[in-house]
Structure 1
Amino acid sequence: MAKVLFMGTPDFAVPALQALIEAHEVVAVVTQPDRPAGRGRRLRVSPVKHVAIAHDIPVFQPERLRRPDALETLAGWPADVFVVAAFGQILPQAALDMPAHGSINVHASILPRWRGAAPIHAAIRAGDAETGVTIMQMDAGLDTGPMLSVRRTPITPDDTAQNLHDRLAELGAALLAETLPPYLAGEIVPQPQPEAGVTYAPQITKAEGRIDWAQPADAITRQVRAFTPWPGTFTDWDGRLLKVHRGTASAGSAPAGQVVMVDGRLAIGTGDGLFFPEAVQLEGKQAVSIDDFVRGYPHVVGVTLG
């Protein structure tokens, strides 16, 4: 049983922390500070903090881990290894080098493809056939450290960022549990990442959810799946925001952004093919099926969106 210091914040990190709690001694959890959220702007505790509190594990929430006082606190816990999963801050080299066995990271892609903050969204939007999880040693670069283990999973046509996120979180936890003991025993030789195939997945902004109807229908479908649930995809209609929650692509032709009826189904013209929305949400309203939307707003047919 190793002494592990865990760093993580969102839901993705929870299965990894739970796996460590079951098999090792988690001496402390480092997570992002509580942040105001929601309409009431009440402080929201991170999912990882909830788990730590439930297991009486000390919690440390530095605003900036690079500060000398934060590093001093970090050094006070006798950890054999630091394990990081979606923590949300860049770790300075001084922190990475503290434990005897260094620091390892659970990353939601098959490195070196999709280094960065949003690999799950990027893989879906790019149309990748598969993705996975990489356990890697951490260095000063952005997800550039040598790899310890990799596990793959196909990306299905129905996968959204949400269900792929959930699958990769569980996959990462299982792979971490398998990798950590032989790594600590010196039985794994870290492998440098390939120089070919490097891509980056930067942080997503809400503005990226706007649909460009000049794009091919297949690309719009992937955008909708990649941005479910956040930031969501949207267009403009009649001066109001219209969110598109789900849809499919098919052959056909209509001017980009124009709403047409095809065999009794509402479709939207794109740069290549037709996009058939299945669920939408008009600003200020509840999400509804496209059939219900057309019944409520029949005059949408013939307009140009965006």
Structure 2
Amino acid sequence: NIKAVVSQPDKPVGRNKVLTPPPVKILAQQNHIPIFQPKTLKNFSELPDVDIYIVVAYGKIIPKQVLNRPKLGIVNVHPSLLPKYRGPSPVQSAIAHQEKISGVSIMLLDEKMDHGPILAQKEIPIARNETTSSFFRKVIEIGAPLLVESVNNFAAGKLQPKEQNHKFATYCQLLKKEDGKINWRNNAEEIHAKIRAYNPWPGTFTVINEKIFKIHDAKISENKLPPGKIKIENKKLLIGTAGPALEILSIQPAGKQKMQAKDFINGFHYLDGLIIS
């Protein structure tokens, strides 16, 4: 029985900055559930008295006075196998570090970041060409029923929280746009993993002749080129790394739409042979 939904305030979206409600607000309104959108929870006193709060991707720190309000605590969904990858970018970090397996954790919040005891976990394999977008779809598919099952069993006293092994904790940082810049002196596997990990946010890019080119998709080639060297051959766009070259599959020049490599080559063939510094 859901008593209320708390979400972040509506935000301006797109070029025209249209004030847009978060999807959870629309769903709550469709189901006639009270919705609150405070700018901060610090002095927010309208939360109803309930047994459990459930937090999913709220995006803000939960203050101590709110943590202590529900009788059974606050349940959170975190997209990693805690205690690995505590912090705001666990999926991006797992893919960028070329992990083979990550997962989802259902946990209780405490005053420290992603530190509370675990109610349930499930492993999720990371596919060879996994992106953050595709992995999040797996997290939703697996994590949603796991959350419902865990909350029901916990509320019924059938599930005991288990403390994390804090000595194995690792952390990830909040990503910024500039983190997406590609260093072509890294190896191809590392760059390829970064392109997949940073899709869709913050995206990866390279700078050519002082202009930004976003790299949306790529694959590892059998060719070998000096790091940063651009080669166009057989309608393929290749860029050298410290190992094999990367074949760029889709790219977006500044101020233009994303395009396939063959279309890019038609307008930018003069870049052949250039070395990205």
Smaller-chain TM-score range? over 0.9
Measure the CA separation in 1 of the matches of 2:132 and 2:275. Answer: 28
SS in 1 for 2:105: strand
Kindly state the Cα deviation for residue 271 of structure 1 after the two structures are TM-superposed: 2.1
CA RMSD of aligned residues (A): 1.5
SS in 1 for 2:4: strand
Aligned length: 277
| Counterpart position of 1:82 | 53
SS in 1 for 2:2: strand
- Does residue 48 (structure 1) correspond to residue 48 (structure 2)? The answer is no
Aligned match for 1:217, one of 188, 194, 205? 188
Kindly state the Cα deviation for residue 273 of structure 1 after the two structures are TM-superposed: 2.2
| Counterpart position of 1:10 | none
Q: Which stretch shows the higher mean deviation, 148-157 or 195-204? A: 195-204
Q: Please, what TM-score do these two structures have when normalized by structure 1? A: 0.86
| Counterpart position of 2:108 | 137
Measure the CA separation in 2 of the matches of 1:208 and 1:170. Answer: 29
| Counterpart position of 1:267 | 238
Aligned match for 1:65, one of 41, 46, 56? 41
Q: Please, what TM-score do these two structures have when normalized by structure 2? A: 0.95
| Counterpart position of 1:290 | 261
Aligned match for 1:248, one of 205, 209, 219? 219
> Structure 1: 5+ residue runs without aligned partners?
1-24
- The 5-angstrom pairing of residues 140-159 of structure 1 reads 140-159=111-130
One-letter amino acid matched to 2:2: V
Kindly state the Cα deviation for residue 149 of structure 1 after the two structures are TM-superposed: 0.2
Kindly state the Cα deviation for residue 264 of structure 1 after the two structures are TM-superposed: 5.9
Measure the CA separation in 2 of the matches of 1:62 and 1:153. Answer: 34
CA contact (8 A) 2:87 2:172 kept: yes
> Structure 2: 5+ residue runs without aligned partners?
none
SS in 2 for 1:73: coil
Measure the CA separation in 2 of the matches of 1:44 and 1:82. Answer: 25
Measure the CA separation in 2 of the matches of 1:36 and 1:265. Answer: 39
- Does residue 301 (structure 1) correspond to residue 272 (structure 2)? The answer is yes
| Counterpart position of 1:30 | 6
One-letter amino acid matched to 2:140: A
CA contact (8 A) 2:55 2:75 kept: yes
CA contact (8 A) 2:232 2:238 kept: yes
Measure the CA separation in 1 of the matches of 2:206 and 2:6. Answer: 39
Aligned match for 2:203, one of 224, 232, 239? 232
One-letter amino acid matched to 1:266: L
